[in-house]
Amino acid sequence: MVLKTQKNINLNKKLSDKYRLSDVLRTDKKRRTIEELINKNPLYLWYKIHSKHSDVSLVRNAYAILKKKVKQKRPDLVEKAEKEHLHHKTKKLLRKEIKDGTAGLPGSRFKKIASRKIVL
């Protein structure tokens, strides 16, 4: 009796919502692995991840590989994403300090809080 070897490609198992390199993503009525999308069409996957209300998220090592590929072709996209991430992180820290009541006090990360601009 000969057993068929099973491919190491799986649909995204719901242990985590993040896709790994071997997971399959259904795009444009086609099924492709994340690794295949990174190698053949990294900008498509980048836009799919960074679009509003996206349901696609990658594990850290897969995102690092994608980021490296996109940075070679379009460094402005990576810079924009990093800037938005930093802004989101700063807003989160500000909300925490306001909630704790430490914003504006000595030792606070935020020296001045204006209505539009946050100064670190």
User: Residue 61: pLDDT above 80?
Assistant: yes
**Mean pLDDT, the chain, integer:** 83
> What pLDDT score was predicted for residue 15?
63
Q: 5-15 as b/e, with b when 16 or more CB fall inside 10 Å?
A: eeeeeeebeee
100: three-class secondary structure by DSSP: helix
Q: Say if residue 93 is in the same domain as residue 115.
A: yes
Q: Under the phi-then-psi rule, with left for phi > 0, alpha for psi from -120 to 50, and beta for the rest, what region is 84?
A: alpha
Answer yes or no: do 52 and 87 share one domain. no
For residue 63, what pLDDT is reported?
95
Could you tell me the pTM of the whole model? 0.72
Are 83 and 69 in the same domain? no
CA 116 to chain centroid, in Å, comes to 26
Q: How confident is the model at residue 6 (pLDDT cuts 50, 70, 90)?
A: very low
- Write the pLDDT tens digit of every residue in 9-42: 555 455 678 899 988 888 778 899 999 999 999 9
If asked whether residues 3 and 32 sit together in one domain, one would say yes
Last residue of a domain, one of 53, 73, 93: 73
Q: Is the pLDDT of residue 104 over 80?
A: no
CA distance 102 to 96: 9
Q: What is the total count of domains within the chain?
A: 2
| Strand locations in the chain (E) | 10-11, 23-27, 30-33, 112-113, 118-119
